[in-house]
Amino acid sequence: MSTPQRPILFVSLPESGLLNPLLVLAGELSRRGVPDLWFATDEPRRADVERQVTGSPVEFASLGEVFSELSAVTWSDEVYREVTQTSRFRAHRAVVRQSYRPDLQADKYRRLETVVDKVRPALMVIDCVSGFAVDLAVKRGIPFVLSVPFLPSNVLTSLNPFGPSGTPRGFPVPHSGLPFPMTFTQKIRNDLFKWRTLGMFFHPAMGKVLSADARMRKELGLPKPSPMTRVKLAEIILCNSVAELDYPFPVPEKMKLVGAMVPPLPETGPDAGDDGLTDWLDAQSSVVYMGFGTITRLTRDQVGSLVEVARRLEGRHQFLWKLPREQQHLLPPRQSLPGNLRIESWVPSQLDVLAHPNIGVFFTHGGGNGFHEGIYFGKPLVVRPLWVDCYDQAVRGRDLGISLTLDRPRDMDPDDVVDKLTRVLGDPSFRERAAHIGALQRAAGGRTTAADLLLGLPALA
pLDDT tens by residue, 400-419: 999 999 999 988 999 999 99
- The 10s digit of each residue's pLDDT in 143-166 is 999 999 999 999 999 999 998 999
Determine the pLDDT at residue 269: 65
Determine the pLDDT at residue 70: 83
% of the chain exceeding 70 in pLDDT = 98
**Banded model confidence at residue 68, pLDDT cuts 50, 70, 90:** confident
Domain 8-259+445-460: assigned CATH number: 3.40.50.2000
**Banded model confidence at residue 336, pLDDT cuts 50, 70, 90:** very high
Determine the pLDDT at residue 224: 85
Determine the pLDDT at residue 272: 56
**Banded model confidence at residue 2, pLDDT cuts 50, 70, 90:** very low
4: pLDDT strictly greater than 60: no
Q: Which fold has domain 277-443?
A: Rossmann fold (3.40.50)
Ranges in the chain annotated CATH 3.40.50.2000:
8-259+445-460, 277-443
Average pLDDT value over all residues in the chain? 94
Distance from C-alpha of 171 to C-alpha of 123, rounded to nearest angstrom? 33
- The 10s digit of each residue's pLDDT in 287-333 is 999 999 989 999 999 999 999 999 999 999 999 999 999 999 999 99
Determine the pLDDT at residue 433: 98
Mean pLDDT confidence for 99-104: 93
Determine the pLDDT at residue 3: 47
Determine the pLDDT at residue 284: 96
345-351 long-range contacts (CB < 8 A, ≥24 apart) are 346/322, 347/274, 347/277, 347/322, 348/267, 348/268, 348/272, 348/273, 348/274, 348/277, 349/265, 349/266, 349/267, 349/268, 349/272, 350/291, 350/322, 351/262, 351/263, 351/265, 351/267, 351/377
Determine the pLDDT at residue 225: 80
50: pLDDT strictly greater than 60: yes
